[in-house]
Structure formats: C-alpha cells, structure tokens
A = this chain, B = another copy of it.
Amino acid sequence: MIKCAFYLTPDGELLDQLGIEQIRHFLATGKGLLWLDIEEVTNEDTELLSNVFCFHPLAVADCISKNIHPPKIDDFEHYLFIIVHGINYHIESEVVETTELALFLGKNYVVTSHDVPLGSISSVLDRVRKDGRLMRRGADFLAHDLLDALVDNIMPTIEEMNDKSVAIETEALHEPERQTLISIMQHKRSILALTRVMLPQREIVNRLSRGEYALISERAQIYYRNIYDHLVRIEMLILGLRDMAESVVNTYLSSVSNRMNEVMRVLTLIATIFIPLTFIAGIYGMNFANMPELEWRYGYFGILIVMAVIGICLVIYFKRKRWV
C-alpha cells in the first residue's frame, strides 16, 4: 500500500500522490527526486517495483517476504538495496523486536518498504510535507535522513532497557524470586539479540560512508559517517547493558544464596543453643534412685540459672564470632 509518493520537480515544486504513470514518466526523465513509501507490500506494489522500477526479483522478494532478514546492502549498479533494522521494544512483554526497513536508493529516487508503521518514516514524511527542503539535497541525503531517524529512534529503547536493568538489579538484590531469574534471562537474551542486529548494521553504514558506492556523493559521506558514530555509541551502550545483565545474574544467584544462608544460620543457631539445654533437662529427668541434686532445696532454681548462663554464654560466643 503506497503511503506516500513525493516528487520534487527540478523546478523545486513538490508533488504528492503521484499515479503509476507519473512515476514511470519522472523516472524516465532522470531528473528531480522521487520518494515512494510502501507499507505492507500488495500485489499492485510488487507490480510497480518489478515493472516500473525494474528492481531485481530477489530484492522485491525480500520486500514481500515476512521473514526476518539480517541487515545487508546489495549493490545492483543502478541502485542500492539496503535492509536495516529499527527497534520495537514492548516494555510490557519485555521482548525486543526489531522492525525491518527495506530501502532502494537510486540516482533520483528513494523507495522505502516496511511491514509495520515506523515512527521514524512518519516523522520524515511530516517534515517533507511541511516543507520540501529535505528533498532538495538529493537522493543520498534523503536516504541519510531516513536512516538517521531510524537510528535516533533506537536511543529511547536503549534507555528504557537501561532503566529495566536497574529495576531488575534492585529486585535481584532485595527480593530475589524465581520469577526474577526468568526476567533476567529474558532481558539478557533481548540484549544479545540486539547486539547481533546492530553489529552488521554498523558495518553497513560504515560501507556507505567509505565512498564504496558511487550513488553516495562525497558530501553526503560525512553525514553517513555521523550515523556510523551514533551506531558506535549505541553499541557501546549495548555492551554496557550486557555487562550489567551479566553482573545481575551473579547478583541474583549470590542474593538467593545469601538469603538462604541467613535463614539457615539463624535457625541453626537457635537449635544449637537449645540442644545442650535440653540435654541438661534430660539428665534431671532421669529416674535414678540416688540423684542428690534432686533433693536440694534450690536444685531446680539452681539448674534454671545454670541453663540461663549457658544459653547467654553461647549467644555471646556466637555474637563474638559474628555468626549472628
């Protein structure tokens, strides 16, 4: 479904809502700049991509397919086919999902295709609609703006994940429940999945910024380099998240074990104090005929005092040894 079809004429006029015939016409002239955004590719769109733009069948197939494609860049001489990933983090479900953006970059056109609405695309769209300047610098700059918006959209997610890390760590430290471990593991796996998507992405932008492709002008390369720097920063932050997740696992395990130890220690101490006392009580519960203490007037009170002394001594000893 075509979401937008902008055309900036060489005269600087911005046309919207082009029909297929117009698109075919403008492409033939080779002038101006065309931006086509497609959401959920329909059969009609496939026709357009295959027959009007004459994109390679494999690239078109990638646009149609609902599978996840790792980030990549294919050079078809007259156009570049780029797949990049944004993030879609559902904080409630605690699962990171990446959203794909397929982008065809030609000399005088940019075609974007995605399955779900992307905030970054919409924001660029709005800015173009408000004022066409964004498209005046050429196709490579427009593609840059789209990628830049996509990458910028990653940052808030990273921050949310960071907050989540801190929250999980606090929970792991103070109230380690069985559920906590599952959260930690899920969180860690989210981070690892993120790393695996971001790393090739960085490599792709690096290649775009290195002058490897004729379609990216030298003036634009430095701007692509800027996206690259952003991705490097994002990677560093993700690595930080990973270290944190790693340490949270340790904290959790240690916290669970600490808590258990604490319980066991106190309980064992109580048992240990009463066992000798019960033994003494047991002695004077024996029925021997000749047990002089039993006849003493204050034998009973004496033995109670002895027991109290022993109990108190044990408590003091344990305190000294810092076992309590």
Q: Which secondary structure dominates chain A's binding surface?
A: helix
Q: C-beta contact mask, A129-149 vs B, less than 8 Å → 1, else 0?
A: 000000000000000000000
What are the residues of chain B within 8 A of A261 when measuring CB–CB?
256, 260
- Nearest CB in chain B to that of A174: its residue: B178
Are B185 and A251 interface neighbours, CB within 8 A? Answer: yes
A123 at the interface (CB under 8 A from B): no
- How many of these chains are in the complex? 5
Distance A70 CA – B237 CA, assembled complex (angstroms)? 10
CA distance A218 to B45 in the complex (A): 28
Closest 5 CB pairs of A and B: A281-B282, A284-B286, A288-B300, A285-B285, A185-B247
Interface residue ranges, A against B (CB under 8 Å): 56, 58, 62, 67-70, 72, 74, 76, 173, 178, 181-182, 185, 188-189, 192-193, 196, 200, 222-223, 225-226, 229, 232-233, 236, 239-240, 243-244, 247, 249-251, 253-258, 260-261, 263-265, 267-272, 274-279, 281-291, 293-300, 303-304, 321, 323
Since A74-B222, A192-B240, A283-B304 are in contact, a sample of 13 more A-B pairs with Cβ atoms closer than 8 Å, ordered by chain A residue number, is: A173-B182, A182-B251, A189-B247, A264-B265, A270-B276, A278-B279, A281-B282, A282-B285, A285-B286, A287-B287, A288-B294, A289-B299, A290-B297
10 pairs across A/B with beta carbons < 8 Å?
A: A70-B232, A72-B229, A74-B222, A256-B258, A257-B257, A267-B268, A274-B279, A285-B287, A288-B293, A288-B299
